Amino acid sequence: MFPGAGNPHFFAEQLAEGLSPCKVPEFWLGWTNEPNHYQDVTGFIDMKLKALAEHRSQLQGGVLGFFEEWLPAEAEENGRKIGVQHAEAFRC
């Protein structure tokens, strides 16, 4: 986010293309030790794992198997905190 977002001098070539700086209204940090927001993601775990599997170069050596076990378990644990099947935790 910092220092690029909202700074018109950071990507000057984009100004020449007719684009303008954006103001980021919120920033959600995932996998934080101090979450203050839980988002219902019920029904999206399989899609998330499928998308993650596309990052083959980053998942060498059986790392995907770890995520296939860990992500659903974490989502279930977070879901219990807000009364849904699956949730993700964020610091907003």
pLDDT digit string (tens) for the chain, length 92 residues: 667 878 888 888 888 899 988 888 888 999 999 999 999 999 999 999 999 989 888 888 888 888 899 999 999 999 999 999 999 999 99
Kindly calculate the radius of gyration of the chain based on its CA atoms and give it in whole angstroms.
18
pTM: 0.76
Query: Beta strand pairing status for 37-40 and 87-91?
Result: antiparallel
CB 67 within 8 A of CB 49: yes
Closest to 48 in 3D by CA, of 31, 66, 72: 72
Instruction: Identify whether the C-beta of residue 19 lies closer than 8 Å to the C-beta of residue 77.
Output: no
